[in-house]
Structure 1
Amino acid sequence: MGHVIDRAVVNHEALSREGLLERAFAFAFRGLVYAQIWEDPVVDIEALAITPQSHVVTIASGGCNVLSYLTANPARITAVDLNTAHIALNCLKQVAAVSLPDYTHFRRFFGDADSAENIAAYRTYIRPYLDETSRRYWEGRDMVGRRRIGMFRSGAYKRGLLGGFIGAAHLVAKLYRIDPRVLLEARNMEEQRRIFEEKLAPVFNRKFVRWLTDQPASLFGLGIPPAQYESLAGDEKMAAVLRRRLEKLACDHDLKSNYFAWQAFGRAYGRHQDAPLPPYLEERHYDAVRSRTGRVDIRHANMTDWLATQADESVDRYVLLDAQDWMSNAQLDALWTQITRCARPGARVLFRTAAEPSLLPGRLSPALLDRWTYHAAESLDFTRADRSSIYGGVHLYSLEG
């Protein structure tokens, strides 16, 4: 897998500063990065306008959104990813949705994700139906010798590159006697604002934090490669950019409906009965998700390469996450050549960017870009509505005619 990820991420000479950073990121990205995906599936479902005829092709990542799209009842979903850990996690979720005996088991496994009962459930209900490659992954050991399936006993959302980053951020905050969990005590959005301004915002003024966030490698844990770091920072200090993004996460959406805030500030989903959860984990969607998981096809592949094998006009919904922020102009042209060839009339493409504007104008070949309509006003609305608050822009394009 290593050379495939390198091909997707590395665009500079090996001994250049940019090349060294890109190779370091590619190495970090070979393991589990996202135990939970950080794009809002509710926004995705609205923007994509999924119908019962839709064929959705998406980058798999942590799998939360793949299963959440099933609540919109598409005809089929193809989930593509280069990362073997993400493929194994998607396969685990797909099998678990069908083989675990009830919602209580499913919620405990992927919602709480920190019980010894999950390991027993894995052995009894999931393992017999898991493909051999995924089974080897979960029963294999990580870099420190722990069996990977054990993350569902010790707290899955504290694991992975992003889980480690959030844990490190909590540690830095506590060095300044700040506990990020204090935000979760807010009773309303007014209190959320007050706690952020009084308790959390001041940490970004600390000299060490400003220095640390000026190092591109410090944000590898967010899944941000060097090229994306530059576009995210622009002409500003990264500490100022991160402060604004955290402010949006902490203040712009009610904690009662924002599970991303619970993950960022509490490192887990809430345990109370009405705790916000991804759509696939909500009890009201359990039967629908369980009955439709057979519509998901999980592929270990590069998105461009996989699309090149598909028939003309065979896809009408695409989700690219933020992968284009990594790409060179040539890679963008190659990807959109296949997207355009495979797209049915009226197809929609949704993606995120670290910076606010769409990255396609001025980079994608005009012959390709002119085929697509950019929905500027709707994209701004989707950006504001995205509860994860990490990205600068959520962008929607459609193929007319």
Structure 2
Amino acid sequence: MARQPNRKIAAAVVREDAEQKQRLLDRAFALAFKGLVYAQIWEDPVVDMEALAIEPGNRIATIASGGCNVFSYLVGDPAEIVAVDLNTAHVALNHLKRVAIQRLPDYNSFRRFFVDADSAANIADYRAFVRPHLDEVSRRYWEGRDLVGRRRINGFAHGLYKRGLLGNFIGVAHLVARMHRIDLRQFLEAKTIEEQRTIFDTKLAPFFDRKFIRWITDQRSSLFGLGIPPAQYDALADGKPMADVLRARLEKLACDFPLEENYFAWQAFGRRYGRGIKAPLPPYLQAENHAVVRDRAARVTMLHANMTDMLAAADAASFDRYVFLDAQDWMNDVQLTALWAEVSRTARPGARVLFRTAAEPSLLPGRLPEALLDRWEYRDEASRDYTRRDRSAIYGGVHLYVLKAA
């Protein structure tokens, strides 16, 4: 059973028709992606919910990842959210979040568990309130040990957001920056967006001109820690030096949104959420949403599955909203066509599909059969606006498609 997750991920990532060097890189990424990647998802749920326009009674099919967006969507009052993921660590994290939302005694204990995520009291709460209601597979995962021998649940006592593939990547970025006499945490001292711009221009932007940084970021494996496989690396680079692309994306993160509104910047520069009661948080972690998220948490169905396979097993006209994150960047034309054939079969009138891409344009034109793509209307102007307002800043495009009337 231990090998099964790797086969699922490899099937999604490895390009069997590629050259041997590319296949080896793909397999290396599949191995890296086997463990926890995202303790926090890096797609903006506020933009998501506006684009999806969730209505009471909607059924949502989404990729789970770290679960922040899955549970934030509950604020929109859907009837059900079917969340799928190929990564068993993400599945275990989503199960843990669902039980913790339902069983922790109050908002303060929930906030300490998932916002602060660095207190020994969280482990006591896990044992008292969460563990008795957690499924056996997820319990074994959290009480098991990681590659360096630490019990995974203890991450909630020592800073969960410093762990996982992305957390480790950000930690390495901080270390490399300090080696070049740059303390990324100083960015969080900015009081205005003008101060944020000054720090970026004087401290962060020149960092990407250093020869070592330009060399290391030119290696496709260098971005595995961001959850970016080799195929997506090429789309992200789009023929440009990767250091320049990353500088532009970091500039948006650092300069386009005030710190008091952007928790993604706190994660990037502080490796945590902000401490104050007014610190920016995903909707599911906000105090004003706690009661409705708790009461609706049972509406989340979590599956270790491929999105296309899950939809193929679903009834016709059974979903209203679909969220694919950036997974389509990993797909070939055959896989894309299979996915969208199932989306079109299972879509109810007015269905909406939201996804992100590393490059700016939508990847569907020219890759899906015209007859299939013609069933969907691309909201071009709205998609550009969502892209501009996506606070995570890492993606080139946020794309919305709406099913045309029959």
When normalised by structure 1's length, the TM-score is: 0.99
Q: Look up the SS of the partner of 1:43 in the other structure.
A: helix
For residue 37 of structure 1, the aligned residue among 29, 36, 41 is 41
State the alpha-carbon separation in 2 of the partners of residues 222 and 14 from structure 1: 22
| CA deviation after TM superposition for structure 1 residue 16, in Å | 1.1
Matched to 2:254, the amino acid is A
Q: Look up the SS of the partner of 1:333 in the other structure.
A: helix
> Which position in structure 2 is the counterpart of 1:127?
131
Query: Please, which moves more after superposition, 8-17 or 201-210?
Result: 8-17
| CA deviation after TM superposition for structure 1 residue 13, in Å | 5.3
Summarize the alignment of residues 2-401 of structure 1 with structure 2, pairs less than 5 Å apart: 2-12=6-16, 16-401=20-405
State the alpha-carbon separation in 1 of the partners of residues 70 and 295 from structure 2: 14
| CA deviation after TM superposition for structure 1 residue 279, in Å | 0.6
What is the CA deviation profile of residues 41-76 of structure 1, one whole-angstrom value per residue up to 9, with x for unaligned ones?
000000000000210110000000001001111111
Q: Look up the SS of the partner of 2:275 in the other structure.
A: coil
State the alpha-carbon separation in 1 of the partners of residues 368 and 329 from structure 2: 12
Contact 1:88–1:134 (CA<8 Å) still a contact in 2?
yes
State the alpha-carbon separation in 1 of the partners of residues 369 and 115 from structure 2: 43
What is the CA deviation profile of residues 204-246 of structure 1, one whole-angstrom value per residue up to 9, with x for unaligned ones?
0000000000001000000100000001101210000000000
State the alpha-carbon separation in 2 of the partners of residues 371 and 277 from structure 1: 37
Instruction: Provide structure 2 residue ranges, at least 5 long, that are not aligned to the other structure.
Output: none
Matched to 1:246, the amino acid is L
Matched to 2:243, the amino acid is A
Identity of aligned residues (%): 67
Contact 1:14–1:20 (CA<8 Å) still a contact in 2?
no
State the alpha-carbon separation in 2 of the partners of residues 307 and 234 from structure 1: 31
Q: Look up the SS of the partner of 1:182 in the other structure.
A: helix
State the alpha-carbon separation in 1 of the partners of residues 78 and 192 from structure 2: 36
State the alpha-carbon separation in 1 of the partners of residues 82 and 17 from structure 2: 34
State the alpha-carbon separation in 1 of the partners of residues 299 and 238 from structure 2: 41
| CA deviation after TM superposition for structure 1 residue 383, in Å | 0.2
State the alpha-carbon separation in 2 of the partners of residues 154 and 16 from structure 1: 41
State the alpha-carbon separation in 2 of the partners of residues 168 and 367 from structure 1: 47
Root-mean-square deviation (Å): 0.8
Query: Please, which moves more after superposition, 14-23 or 377-386?
Result: 14-23
What is the CA deviation profile of residues 179-225 of structure 1, one whole-angstrom value per residue up to 9, with x for unaligned ones?
11111111110110001101111110000000000001000000100
State the alpha-carbon separation in 1 of the partners of residues 18 and 78 from structure 2: 43
State the alpha-carbon separation in 2 of the partners of residues 65 and 380 from structure 1: 20
Contact 1:12–1:18 (CA<8 Å) still a contact in 2?
no
State the alpha-carbon separation in 2 of the partners of residues 273 and 371 from structure 1: 46
- Aligned pair count reads 401
State the alpha-carbon separation in 1 of the partners of residues 121 and 128 from structure 2: 11
| CA deviation after TM superposition for structure 1 residue 11, in Å | 1.0
What is the CA deviation profile of residues 90-123 of structure 1, one whole-angstrom value per residue up to 9, with x for unaligned ones?
0000000010000010000000001111000000
Matched to 2:12, the amino acid is A
Contact 1:138–1:149 (CA<8 Å) still a contact in 2?
yes
State the alpha-carbon separation in 2 of the partners of residues 366 and 98 from structure 1: 45
Q: Look up the SS of the partner of 1:134 in the other structure.
A: helix
What is the CA deviation profile of residues 4-62 of structure 1, one whole-angstrom value per residue up to 9, with x for unaligned ones?
11111111358711101100000111100000000000000000000002101100000
Q: Look up the SS of the partner of 2:268 in the other structure.
A: helix
Matched to 2:85, the amino acid is D
State the alpha-carbon separation in 2 of the partners of residues 42 and 145 from structure 1: 37
Contact 1:29–1:223 (CA<8 Å) still a contact in 2?
yes
Q: Look up the SS of the partner of 2:48 in the other structure.
A: helix
| CA deviation after TM superposition for structure 1 residue 351, in Å | 0.1
Matched to 1:88, the amino acid is A
Instruction: Provide structure 1 residue ranges, at least 5 long, that are not aligned to the other structure.
Output: none
| CA deviation after TM superposition for structure 1 residue 365, in Å | 1.6
Stretches (4+) displaced over 4 A: none
| CA deviation after TM superposition for structure 1 residue 272, in Å | 1.0
